[in-house]
A and B are shown apart, each in its own frame.
Chain A
Amino acid sequence: GENVEQHPSTLSVQEGDSAVIKCTYSDSASNYFPWYKQELGKGPQLIIDIRSNVGEKKDQRIAVTLNKTAKHFSLHITETQPEDSAVYFCAASWRVKLIFGTGTRLQVFP
C-alpha cells in the first residue's frame, strides 16, 4: 500500500523566516497531494493541494512543489507569522484513500 513519510517532525523558525516541510510517497500511481494544517483542539484544514500534472502551485505565502520522478513533494511557507504555528500534514491519494504523513509541528517565534 501507499506510504507517506514526512520530515521534519518538529520545526522552529523565527518570525519572518521561511519554513520547508518535505514528504515522500511510495506509489507512483498517487496523483493528488494536499496539505492540511491542524491547530490546537481543531480538525485538520486544507491549506493547499497539487495534482500530479502540475509541478508547483502558490497561494500567497504558501507554495507546494512536486517532483514526480523522485516522488517528493514539499510545502514552503515564506514570511512566517506566529499564527502559522500549528501541525502540518502532507497526504497522498492512493486509490480512493487519502494517506497522511505523520505531521510536522511548526513553531514560529516572534
Chain B
Amino acid sequence: DSGVTQTPKHLITATGQRVTLRCSPRSGDLSVYWYQQSLDQGLQFLIQYYNGEERAKGNILERFSAQQFPDLHSELNLSSLELGDSALYFCASSVGEGPGTGELFFGEGSRLTVL
C-alpha cells in the first residue's frame, strides 16, 4: 500500500459526460501529480500541484482541469468525454516540489471507460 488513495477505482460513462477523479496523497506529501496511461502507452504527464499551487503542466487537454485543495487532496475533472479518453488515470504524491526531491508514490489508479 503506497498510502495514496484514488477514487473511484472504476468508472464507466458515456461520451459527452463529465467525471471527477479524486486523489488523497500520502500523509505529509505536498506534491500531487496526475498521469494518464492508455492501452499500450506509457505514463503521460498531465499536471502537478505543490501545496495548492499548479507547478507544471504536461499534455493536458483543455477539456481537463485539476486542482489541489487546502487539505492537499486533488481532483481531476474530465469533461465533454470522448472515446479516446478511456484510460487509467494515476495520481502520485511526493514530499518535495519536484521529482528529484523524493520518490513519487503512485495510487492504484482510476480506470475510466467512455462508451
Contacts and interface: CB of A to CB of B under 8 A. Distances in A.
B106 A97 contact: no
Interface string A22-36: 000000000110101
Contacts of A100: 35, 42-45
Contacts, number: 61
Interface of A: 6, 31-32, 34, 36, 41-46, 49, 51, 89, 91, 93, 95-103
Interface residues of B, number: 26
B100 A32 contact: yes
Interface of B: 2, 4, 33, 35, 41-45, 48, 55-56, 58, 90, 92, 97-100, 103-109
Given A43-B109, A46-B104, A96 B2 contact: no
Given A96-B55, A100-B43, A45 B2 contact: yes
A103 B2 CA distance: 21
Contacts of A97: 45, 48, 56, 58, 99
